[in-house]
Amino acid sequence: MVYAMSDIHGCYEKYMTLMEGLELKDDDMLYILGDIVDRGDGGIQVIMDVLKRKNVCCLRGNHEHDALMFLAEYAMPGGSGESDSLFAEFEPWLTDGGISTYNAFLALDDRDKRRVLYFLRQMPIHKEMTAGGKVFHLSHTIASKSRMIHPEKCKLHDYLWGEPDYEDVYFKDRIMVTGHTPTAFIDEAYRGRIWKGNNHIALDCGAVFGNPLGCICLDTMEEIYADEKNIMRIGMKDR
Ligand SMILES: [Mn+2]
């Protein structure tokens, strides 16, 4: 089975509850579509857990991108040191939850710091894969349809900060799977739930804003939700 989730944003307990409920088998695959880090306190813990697992693939979100730029430059031995200008440049990231990742990173030993930076650096930007006979395009976010129908012209920015048109079908033969935009912003009735429609699947349930962390099985369209302690499954007939 192939699973996808997104926007853990440091919610380590919800992530662990979900992972215990999923019980990934050797031939299962879990894609995490970015924004593992920032806001909540446990983003680095989630990365350390992912590093122990073989069948989890993490795509880059805008928060990983900023974290990598800042941490590699500032928080490593031989970096630029206490630079006020760097702090000023990354002030939007630090105040949008980056400070919790920065503090957790500083607490790591040098070996783990290097492992985390390597992890952040190698994160793919987007993936296309097949599950249950359907083709899925996975990325943290996507830009408007008019840009995405020319993937050869798309830039990194489109996949990290793009604003999808969820009312538009981008491709008849593939489903665009994204995080980044909390589903309550697409339809308030879907607060805390995965949103599906128009060949889109939107995964960001807003876990860090008090909602469950959502995960979808792309083979069966089963939805799995976790809070800090409990797991809830919404069956396949709910497609
Ligand atoms: Mn994001």
- Hey, what amino acid is at 197? G
The 10s digit of each residue's pLDDT in 35-82 is: 999 999 999 999 999 999 999 999 999 999 999 999 987 777 666 666
- Kindly give the distance from the C-alpha atom of residue 34 to the centroid of ligand 1, in angstroms, as a whole number: 7
End-to-end Cα separation, the chain, in angstroms: 17
The 10s digit of each residue's pLDDT in 88-125 is: 888 999 999 999 999 999 999 999 999 999 999 999 99
- Kindly give the distance from the C-alpha atom of residue 6 to the centroid of ligand 1, in angstroms, as a whole number: 9
- Kindly give the distance from the C-alpha atom of residue 172 to the centroid of ligand 1, in angstroms, as a whole number: 26
- Kindly give the distance from the C-alpha atom of residue 126 to the centroid of ligand 1, in angstroms, as a whole number: 14
Pairing of strands 213-217, 200-202: unpaired
- Kindly give the distance from the C-alpha atom of residue 112 to the centroid of ligand 1, in angstroms, as a whole number: 24
- Kindly give the distance from the C-alpha atom of residue 52 to the centroid of ligand 1, in angstroms, as a whole number: 24
The domain of 77 spans: 2-238
Residue 79: its pLDDT value, please? 64
pTM across the whole model = 0.95
- Kindly give the distance from the C-alpha atom of residue 115 to the centroid of ligand 1, in angstroms, as a whole number: 22
- Kindly give the distance from the C-alpha atom of residue 153 to the centroid of ligand 1, in angstroms, as a whole number: 21
Token pair belonging to 16:
């662990």
Residue 72: its pLDDT value, please? 87
Instruction: Give the strand order in the sheet containing 29-32.
Output: 56-58, 29-32, 2-5, 213-217, 223-226, 231-234
Token pair belonging to 162:
């793009």
Dist. CA 147–CA 154, nearest whole Å: 7
- Kindly give the distance from the C-alpha atom of residue 33 to the centroid of ligand 1, in angstroms, as a whole number: 9
Residue 84: its pLDDT value, please? 72
Which residue has tokens 């996808």?
4
Among positive and negative, which fits the CA dihedral 178, 116, 30, 191? negative
**Residues 193/158/123/82 CA torsion (nearest 10 deg):** -110
- Hey, what amino acid is at 170? Y
CATH assignment of the domain containing 205? 3.60.21.10
Q: 239 falls in which pLDDT band (50, 70, 90)?
A: very low
- Kindly give the distance from the C-alpha atom of residue 182 to the centroid of ligand 1, in angstroms, as a whole number: 9
Token pair belonging to 180:
């980044």
- The maximal CA–CA distance of the chain, rounded, in angstroms, is 56
**Which segment of 50-64, 188-202, 222-236 scores lowest on mean pLDDT?**
222-236
- Kindly give the distance from the C-alpha atom of residue 141 to the centroid of ligand 1, in angstroms, as a whole number: 7
How many domains would you assign to the chain? Answer: 1
How far, in Å, are 36, 183, 184, 214, 223 from residue 190 at the CA level? Answer: 21, 6, 5, 12, 13
